[in-house]
Structure 1
Amino acid sequence: MSTPTAHLVAEGVSIWLDDLSRDRIVTGNLADLIATRNVSGITTNPTIFAGAIGSGSQAYSGQVGVLANRGATADEAIFEITTDDVRAAADVFRHVYDDTNGVDGRVSIEVSPDLAYDTAATIAQAKELWAKVDRPNIHVKIPATQAGLAAITETIGAGISVNVTLIFSLERYAAVIDAYLAGLEQAQAAGYDLSGIHSVASFFVSRVDTEVDKRLTAIGTEEAAGLKSLAGVANARLAYELFEREFATDRAKALTDAGGNVQRPLWASTGVKDPALPDTLYVTELVAPGTVNTMPEKTLEATFDHGVIAGDTVTGAYAGAHEVFDRLAGVGVDFADVTQLLEDEGVSKFITSWHELQATVKNALEAAQSGR
């Protein structure tokens, strides 16, 4: 019997898990999710690694001991531990990568959030991560800050696959697509095989509703109340409209005709924050061919259990999505301010998680050195 996750994949949506830990790899849980939940990729970020390494799992203790004996710093240990996890996960997904001709079977690893506003350092670390993991089926995650745009171009131009993260606005998404196409043009000029370079553009969804709904509550009118929990899905649908338009241009077609891949839209932050909303909202309302939905495990299990997949829920809904934004502007929501705030907060939260991860690993190294 077909499951909702299988139905979702049949509609052209790739399911990626938004979580990684060594325990998932060594216990076979990750392989099981591939087999039973149609998971075809995985994404990580500093928050996820902070949770995994700080959980007290014994899966990391042996490596921490070795690194402590070697005199590794916290940053050196994080680099070794996280790239080992990503490499092992990439090996688990390798058959998916091979079966999909490189489209799926992808594992993402993020450059340090401390570098989000430093173009040159981001490029350097992206190349370092790519070389260290040494697997063709990874994505290096680069945030879509202004400084990140040039880094995206240079990294793609060096033949490295990229997951562009923390996209909130259509304006920034258009700049991300431009950066990707410029990167493909650089790669082509340098003689790279364009077919081996892949990218996704991670458009965040639930965080948009959280911030917009807070502003709608403050406005306090009946009209404002009627717009709650509509902005996130509408914004993502308009992103897909932009994706269709930009990859139909002569510039994009010249690159895809030369073997280049489109940069697939990825729906991120798809766990529902408001308990009053359906727990599969950001899955069932964003079904469109050639997309990725990266889900927390709770959302994945909810989709598998009771998700109702009713075909494409995006491409026929553009007019309604534009209307939502006209109405938001009409009640006084400054969406440009919303998206800039969300980008700033997103970088800040990842930096905080990164520093928590550094502190956790530093403490673990010190404990191992003292024999505790």
Structure 2
Amino acid sequence: MISAEAEDLLGELASEGVAPWLAWSSPEPPGPDVVRCGFAGVRMPPGASLSAVRAACTALSEAGGSVAVAAVVFDRAAGPDDWVAAARVLGGGVDRPNLLVSIPATKAGIGAIADCLAEGIGVDSTSVVSLGQYREVLDAQLTGLERALAKRADLGSLVASASCEVGPLDSEVNALLDGIAAGTGHDLRDTAGLATARLVYRLREQWLAGKRWQDLRAGRARAPLLLWTGTTPVHVPALVGGNTGHVMSAETAEAAARQGGLRGDTLLGRHEQAAETIGRLAELGVPVDAAAAAVHGRLNGHE
């Protein structure tokens, strides 16, 4: 499925605590070769059939991997209850413990996270673009896990993840820089996504040091996972930190492998540098929060 060099890269990522996920585009389910290559998770395409998702979950189950697929709500005015209902239908139809139901980090989607987790439904919160959005997602994740713990649920098998859109944020900020700064050669191009990712990582580490998480950890809860999505080959070695994951195509894995190996952890303790980058962008008239809001709107169909 992929070259030996790309398999080596996936192995390097795993040794650094980074789960390589395969961005899958085919309506046919990926087979056991995905696990043999080193992928620990699969993101299925929107509209994938229940049988395809079930087969993917089965393929990854023995290796402890997860499969994420989107819940579907057609009404843009849908509320949290609608997303919970859609997650129940999808979860019940697939009926595999390693399924993650993908729900967008909109106001209604975030409102559904806690209810889903409290019912034992694993959730991947998608289209997280800003630090503020991730703060709301993380709070909802911990709330859901706390409610599940109160019900004496097995938290060791319950996964909560957040998919952070790195590449699209870079593209949005790059376009703004091209209009006001030094064009394509500006030194702040391709920095906004990494800076935001580092701040998101820092926020999660702070929360995991708090009492809420310590109580959940005592109940065998698994730490919320951060997944980097929309990335390019350049992002792969730049986003390496414990309990994270890269969602990438086989082509991205191949291109990243051709660039060379990893550089160790590139997230822990980098928050001050990240904040400085965000500040420099703001000084140039490029507020990253506004750019993130624009990306988030496009991702969720309401510009």
Q: Which structure has more RCO (C-alpha within 8 Å, separation ≥ 6)?
A: 1
Q: Which residue of 2 aligns with 1:33?
A: 34
Among candidates 92, 100, 120, match of residue 59 of structure 2 = 92
Asked whether the equivalents of residues 27 and 49 of structure 2 are also in contact (C-alpha less than 8 Å), the reply is no
Asked whether the equivalents of residues 123 and 161 of structure 2 are also in contact (C-alpha less than 8 Å), the reply is yes
State the alpha-carbon separation in 1 of the partners of residues 121 and 184 from structure 2. Answer: 47
Task: Give the AA of the match of 2:57.
Answer: A
State the alpha-carbon separation in 2 of the partners of residues 175 and 45 from structure 1. Answer: 26
State the alpha-carbon separation in 1 of the partners of residues 189 and 45 from structure 2. Answer: 29
TM-score, length basis structure 1: 0.75
CA RMSD of aligned residues (A): 2.0
Task: Give the AA of the match of 1:110.
Answer: A
State the alpha-carbon separation in 2 of the partners of residues 317 and 96 from structure 1. Answer: 32
Mean Cα deviation higher: 196-205 or 16-25: 16-25
Q: Which structure: greater helix fraction?
A: 1
Residue 42 (str. 1) matches residue 42 (str. 2): yes
Shift of 1:24: 5.2
State the alpha-carbon separation in 2 of the partners of residues 193 and 333 from structure 1. Answer: 45
Shift of 1:31: 2.5
TM-score, length basis structure 2: 0.92
CA deviation string 1:275-301 (max 9, x = no partner): xxxxx2111000111111110221122
Q: How does 1:113-262 map to 2 (within 5 A)?
A: 114-115=74-75, 117-221=78-182, 225-262=186-223
Q: Which residue of 2 aligns with 1:13?
A: 18
State the alpha-carbon separation in 1 of the partners of residues 202 and 254 from structure 2. Answer: 29
Mean Cα deviation higher: 2-11 or 126-135: 2-11
Q: How many residues align?
A: 296
State the alpha-carbon separation in 2 of the partners of residues 84 and 242 from structure 1. Answer: 37
Residue 84 of structure 1 aligns to a residue whose secondary structure is: helix
Asked whether the equivalents of residues 149 and 175 of structure 1 are also in contact (C-alpha less than 8 Å), the reply is yes
Task: Give the AA of the match of 2:55.
Answer: A
Cα gap change, 1:310/1:201 in structure 2, threshold over 3 Å: closer, same or farther? same
CA deviation string 1:48-104 (max 9, x = no partner): x5xxxxxxxxxxxxxxxxxxxxxxxxxxxxxxx61111001111111111xxxxxxx
* Structure 2 gap ranges (5+): none
Residue 74 of structure 2 aligns to a residue whose secondary structure is: helix
Cα gap change, 1:24/1:160 in structure 2, threshold over 3 Å: closer, same or farther? closer
Q: Percent identity, please.
A: 32
Q: Which residue of 2 aligns with 1:63?
A: none
Cα gap change, 1:346/1:22 in structure 2, threshold over 3 Å: closer, same or farther? closer
Residue 109 of structure 1 aligns to a residue whose secondary structure is: strand
Residue 108 (str. 1) matches residue 68 (str. 2): yes
Residue 114 of structure 1 aligns to a residue whose secondary structure is: coil
State the alpha-carbon separation in 2 of the partners of residues 148 and 295 from structure 1. Answer: 24
Shift of 1:10: 0.7
Q: Which residue of 2 aligns with 1:318?
A: 271
Residue 346 (str. 1) matches residue 299 (str. 2): yes
CA deviation string 1:338-367 (max 9, x = no partner): 111111100119xxxxxxxxxxxxxxxxxx
Q: Which residue of 2 aligns with 1:83?
A: 50
The structure number with the bigger radius of gyration is 1
Task: Give the AA of the match of 1:109.
Answer: V
Shift of 1:222: 7.4
